[in-house]
Structure 1
Amino acid sequence: MEKTKILIIEDDAEISRLTAMYLEVEGFDTKVINDGSTAISAIQSYAPDLIILDLMLPGLSGIEICKQARNFYFGAIIVLTACNDDVSEISLLKLGADDFLTKPLKPHVLVARIGALMRRVQSQQVKSVKTKHSRLNINLDNQQVTFDGIELNLTGRI
């Protein structure tokens, strides 16, 4: 089974080093970026399953990275911040973050949140798979069923 790829975008060298080290021990594949200006290209080239994104970064802020990344990146984003207020949390979630953690990080909580997000993402990926069995084709994305190429009109009632 392929390891979950996590991109850590954090300018504090000690936090990023310890986070990467802990996640690698837990079985994740990690890459660290310490500058906001290289974050977008790193997301595109590394294609992570999950991003851990600090808010306060040199170059490009975490908020701007989150906004830009959501134009092409559909994986999970966990935002890290030193701020602990509802307004920041709500704003980040509206901008596309999937979860929000305050510093200092508790590594076991981070791993639990990553696990929860990855389960959700993976279950959505399974649901979007088209199922085909000989003459029957089931497309869960658009909720269409065809038999020998003829669309069947099904209802939600049993």
Structure 2
Amino acid sequence: MHMPFHDVTKSGDVIAKVERSPTLERGWWIFPRGECEGERFAWPPEVDETSVWLRIGHAPYDLLAEGTLKSGEPFRAYRVEGTWQPLPPFPKKNQREQLDLRGTPSGELFMISFCPSSSLSIFRLVRGDAWEPIPILFYPNRCFPSDYTFVAGEEGELWLAIDFCIGHKHDIILYHARS
């Protein structure tokens, strides 16, 4: 069986994507802590299962899914009691944005967005139905970030480290805020 390890939930359940197996169907599976038997995730019929990627978050966004619908539109949802609840549409700035969802220990959900114009945006999900922008200031002469790390601490602290790498020179900016 070829099953790349993906992640482990806070309760110890294993989330894995099965590519090939003599006994398991291809797709995303959850194996409860200490169990050999797993459950294959069921997706809404309009979801392109091959595009889905999962991320572990924090309650109420314990498990986040990102991918596309068969129509090509984005699919982003969180799992509640075995069903996928869609997230509100993200603010659209550019079709080629790189998006990243992060749940915090305090139960908030953030979306980080990079677009080719070197702009970065962070949005917070407010009341479960709207994305509120969080301003991030940049120097206008920066190039497109080569890497970033976004961490949400236990006490509601947000940390964002952005690496602007040109050749072998790394120019890193660290942002810190309280949510």
State whether TM-score is above 0.5: no
Q: 1 or 2, which has the higher strand percentage?
A: 2
Q: TM-score range by the shorter chain?
A: under 0.3
Q: 1 or 2, which has the higher helix percentage?
A: 1
Return the structure number with greater relative CO, CA threshold 8 A, min gap 6: 1
Quick check: which has more Rg, 1 or 2?
1
